[in-house]
Amino acid sequence: MQMKVKVDKELCTGDSICVDLCPEVFEMNDDDQAEVIVDVVPEEFEDAVREAAESCPEGCIYIEE
């Protein structure tokens, strides 16, 4: 099964915890909001993406599995 992840930019306040935890999947855009930079999360980064979602203070990271 493939994992996909989304960031709700309406809720993101730019803490960049997700980027710190998994820069292979997340990056900050010019508006200081997180963006997902992959269509499908590579299996080796799935745990880091889950940790990023759990660590997000705004709860704006959504995982689809």
pLDDT tens digit string along 4-41?
999 999 999 999 999 999 999 999 999 999 999 999 99
* Per-residue confidence band for 1, with pLDDT thresholds at 50, 70 and 90: confident
pLDDT score of 42 more than 90:
yes
User: pTM for this structure?
Assistant: 0.95
What are the boundaries of each domain within the chain?
4-64
Q: What is the DSSP letter of 50?
A: H
CATH (residue range 4-64): 3.30.70.20
